[in-house]
Amino acid sequence: DAKTTQPPSMDCAEGRAANLPCNHSTISGNEYVYWYRQIHSQGPQYIIHGLKNNETNEMASLIITEDRKSSTLILPHATLRDTAVYYCIVRVAYNNNDMRFGAGTRLTVKP
């Protein structure tokens, strides 16, 4: 069973914030939320991860709800190069073998 649910596609205007939602209502207490993206057919790229606190790095911000059942990845100023498939993944911190890439959200940034 899929651990996460994401919309299949979203559009965003260049320069605006892109907010990508993810539902993970069955998340366990020891599971983290990870985000990766894949530009065209390139290798997936790690973006950010978090457990329960909001996180920010040079690429994005991750907002996790207090009950941890959903999260939002925020790209503050989307550019055309951010057009990609974004994957929300829930897994325990110590186990990369528990990483399940679903269908993700195809984000299209438009000029």
Q: Which residues bind other proteins (CB under 8 A)?
A: 34, 41-46, 49, 92-97, 99-104
Give 68's contacts (C-beta < 8 A, 6+ positions apart): 24, 27, 33, 52
Q: Is the dihedral of CA 23, 25, 29, 30 positive or negative?
A: negative
**Residue 16 CB, nearest approach to other proteins (Å):** 27
Cα gap 65→1, rounded to integer Å: 22
Q: Which is nearer to other proteins, 37 or 68 (CB)?
A: 37
Q: Which is nearer to other proteins, 28 or 95 (CB)?
A: 95
Q: Which is nearer to other proteins, 97 or 111 (CB)?
A: 97
**Residue 74 CB, nearest approach to other proteins (Å):** 19
